[in-house]
Structure 1
Amino acid sequence: MIKAGEKILEGARQALAFARGEAVEGFVVHEPPSVDVRAIRRKTGLSQAKFAARFGFTVDAVRNWEQGRRKPEGPARVLLKVIEREPEAVLRALS
């Protein structure tokens, strides 16, 4: 039982370190390369406002990404890549 408890505590410590942005052995995060938000949105045929509403982004975020003031990071970047390839799958998952 002690070994199990020690493993749980170690896992919790690693998760906390990872959340702080520290490198943690054994944790590998795959982030896709940068995305062209404007091209993805145009491919859907939606305005910025409709794209944002349909996929759960703010209009400001979409505008900032498209105008190069900010770059989507982490989960937003992953979601955008999925929207780029399989927008209908995302819509099914969100419904």
Structure 2
Amino acid sequence: MKTVRVTIDPTAPATLAYGRIDPVRVDATSEADIARQAAADDVDAMQDAAKFARRVRKRLGLSQLEFSERIDVPLETIRLWEQGKRAPTGAAKALLKVLDKAPEAGLAALH
């Protein structure tokens, strides 16, 4: 890999790179556009959480009912996670991460 050294003079704005943005497009972005994109990002994050919860459960080979009983979470909560209507938070999120990385240890610790 080739290393390239670049000297930047902060006192000369012309030498500063603009980066990967289009300044005209950024300046033309309204608050409504930003709010719309934030809402879309939230929906994407919820879907990612839903896919993650479903993947962990399926990797364990458990039904939603069996999974809810094993991790002591209401069945309705599992369903809401997997439908993307709610996302696991706090301890539940940490538990899903443990079950994803070390399922045997995680399940053993629960019982």
TM superposition score category, shorter chain reference:
0.5 to 0.7
Structure 1: runs of 5 or more not aligned: 1-33
Question: TM-score when scaled to structure 2?
Answer: 0.52
Question: TM-score when scaled to structure 1?
Answer: 0.61
1:76 is the counterpart of 2:92 = yes
Structure 2: runs of 5 or more not aligned: 1-47
Q: Which runs of 4+ in 1 moved over 3 A?
A: none
The alpha carbon displacement at 1:51 in A equals: 0.6
Tell me which of the two structures has the higher relative contact order, counting C-alpha pairs closer than 8 angstroms and 6 or more residues apart: 1
Structure possessing the higher radius of gyration over alpha carbons: 2
Deviations 1:37-75 (A, max 9, x none): 011111111100001101111111110000000000111
1:3-42 matched pairs, under 5 angstroms: 35=49, 36-42=52-58
Which amino acid is the alignment partner of residue 59 of structure 1?
Answer: L
Over aligned residues, Cα RMSD in angstroms? 1.2
Aligned partners of 2:107 and 2:80: how far apart in 1?
23
Count of residue pairs the alignment pairs up: 62
